[in-house]
Structure 1
Amino acid sequence: MISLRIAIPNKGRLKEPSLQFLIDVGIRPLASDDRALMIPTSWENTELVMIRTEDIPSIVEAGAADLGITGVDYIKEAGANVEELIRLDFGKSRIVLAVPSSWDVNDIEDLRGREIRIATKYYNITRSYLEEKGLHAKIVKISGAAEVMPLLGAADCIVDVTSTGTTLRLHGLKPIDVVMESYASVIGNERWMKGSESERVNLLLTIMKGTLSGKGKKMIFMNVEDSKLDSVIRSLPAMLAPSISKLGGTNAWEVMTVAEEKDIPEIVSKVKNNGARDIVILDIEKVIK
């Protein structure tokens, strides 16, 4: 009997990062059929629900999935009553208002007084944005690619997601305002907080957070003679303090600490100059706080 369901995107830019994140957590899918909607995993009684990214907030709100991974833009668009539990480190993007590059328009104020049509799949977000800015426009709701709509004459400009702006430029468009910033998030509903599986879900969330905390960090071990211990420790970063233990039958210590991967070259140089030797550097999967 399945007691825990996690909804993730079945396609699009968030699919692969979401799958990789769950694999890093330790939840591995046991099937790879792109047509499958429900996939068992390496965690007992846990399965993945593969659905459209934009449908995940509503699925989680309805309790059909305990947790979900989706973009906060889709949460806002759906107006779903869900809780953002963990901000993830992928899926960063912007929802922008973009106009043809040929227009003599540089910001939103240049659009005041114009009759414009805006093509977008973000109908609710766009409507709220227009109300906030005090602009009048016809919203053309679409479900496919927005960039081509001005070229087809179906709209004058668009509100759409962008990461680098390359696709906009290829279609002769330029962004003139940021409607909202977006990123991927783990979401949940009240069911898991009150249900019989709340303890299990909270454990999963703890491991997810630990996986994120462990990214970009390395564990460093080294041996240090007693006379050089203080100078080595002073040159080390630590989450709280370096861990040290006496090496049996010697006048030396084993020193262990955790550091950001980007800082490793500088740290190794410092501790080696201060007398550390036998330095070992290991990957970290998770840091549970």
Structure 2
Amino acid sequence: MKIKIAVPSKGRISEPSINILEKAGLGLKDRESRKLISKTFNKDIDVLFARASDIPEFVQDGIADIGITGIDLIKESEADVIELLDLKFGKTNLVLAAPEDSNIKSIDDITSEMTLATEFPTLTKKYLEKNNLNLKIVKLSGSTEAAPFIGVADLITDLTSTGTTLKMNHLEIVDTLLKSSIVLIANKKSVETKKDLIDSVSTSIKGVLDAARKKLLMMNVKTKDLECVKEVMPSMGGLTISDVLSEEETVAAQAVIDEDEVFDLVNKLRNAGAKDILVVPIERII
């Protein structure tokens, strides 16, 4: 039994999606040629390249068993899928924005005579209905930020991660409709019929996420200094201790720590008596 993983074929989330699969041990055999379907080094798992906006429906309809796409696209398409993991990248917000020189400073300033342009008509309509507003919605497929300045609309809803593009186009955020990130999703039937393979993929990817910004710290410690080292050493599950056969009264100690702790911790460990300290990258934590 085989599974297909749908991955964005292009755009800002394509490379990060492929990279996380490769770190999880699912290297693509045809990565350079970018065929529609690429085999991986696991004979039971193939990768299907598709538009990010098509992936929610591909997974819902069983064309792919698993997919990587944005929460915003899932909600917009109203796809009936299972969310397995937040992949911790591609964070963005769907916001309501208006020209900075307009009188629209809050949702209370919006009237039903106004027109709104967006690439997300479904999410936008739900937001307006929730706020008892009945605006005309113009669906665009790009350059949404230009709409208020060419007479297409009074305001827009658009994706932003930093707000920089909006500011460059003299737009300001009025409200936030949705916070989005990139997630791993699965087809409901596939989760039942191909559970083992899907669990293996999900577990491997979660291991990559858990290992992000983690380091393995290894050191030799004199037995008499071990308690002092323990006192300054944070770790996920305590120190792992083993004997050093070539030296008497010395043990080897290791622990997993956060990357941002390394600089300060190494000096503290040296002062506590540790030596031969190694800092090693971690690929996965299962």
Name the TM-score, length of structure 1 as normaliser: 0.95
Post-superposition CA distance 1:223-243 (Å, at most 9, x none): 000110111011111111110
CA shift, 1:274, in A, is 0.4
CA shift, 1:104, in A, is 2.5
Structure 2 residue aligned with 1:162: 160
SS at match of 2:144: coil
SS at match of 1:54: coil
CA shift, 1:35, in A, is 6.0
Post-superposition CA distance 1:11-46 (Å, at most 9, x none): 222112111111211222222457622122222232
Alignment of 1:216 with 2:182, yes or no, is: no
Structure 1 residue aligned with 2:189: 191
Following the alignment from structure 2 to structure 1, what is the Cα–Cα distance between the partners of residues 211 and 149? 46
Alignment of 1:18 with 2:17, yes or no, is: yes
Post-superposition CA distance 1:106-161 (Å, at most 9, x none): 211121x3511111111110010001111221111122221122222111211110
SS at match of 2:54: helix
Structure 1 residue aligned with 2:140: 142
Post-superposition CA distance 1:66-121 (Å, at most 9, x none): 1000000111111111011001110100000011111022211121x351111111
Structure 2 residue aligned with 1:225: 222
SS at match of 2:38: strand
Structure 2 residue aligned with 1:203: 200
Asked if the contact 2:112/2:133 (under 8 Å) is kept, the reply is no
Following the alignment from structure 1 to structure 2, what is the Cα–Cα distance between the partners of residues 204 and 17? 16
CA shift, 1:48, in A, is 1.2
Structure 1 residue aligned with 2:63: 64
Alignment of 1:83 with 2:88, yes or no, is: no
SS at match of 1:115: coil
Following the alignment from structure 1 to structure 2, what is the Cα–Cα distance between the partners of residues 242 and 58? 47
Following the alignment from structure 2 to structure 1, what is the Cα–Cα distance between the partners of residues 166 and 178? 17
Following the alignment from structure 1 to structure 2, what is the Cα–Cα distance between the partners of residues 247 and 57? 53
Q: Which amino acid aligns with 1:154?
A: V
Following the alignment from structure 1 to structure 2, what is the Cα–Cα distance between the partners of residues 33 and 215? 26
CA shift, 1:278, in A, is 0.5
Q: 1:115 aligns with which of 113, 116, 127?
A: 113
Name the TM-score, length of structure 2 as normaliser: 0.96
SS at match of 1:81: coil
SS at match of 1:106: coil
Q: Which runs of 5+ in 2 are unaligned?
A: none
Alignment of 1:236 with 2:230, yes or no, is: no
Following the alignment from structure 2 to structure 1, what is the Cα–Cα distance between the partners of residues 189 and 143? 35
CA shift, 1:252, in A, is 0.6
SS at match of 2:53: helix
SS at match of 1:203: helix
Following the alignment from structure 1 to structure 2, what is the Cα–Cα distance between the partners of residues 13 and 133? 32
Q: Which runs of 5+ in 1 are unaligned?
A: none
Structure 2 residue aligned with 1:180: 178
SS at match of 1:200: helix
Post-superposition CA distance 1:207-251 (Å, at most 9, x none): 111110001000011000011011101111111111001212511
Aligned residues: 285
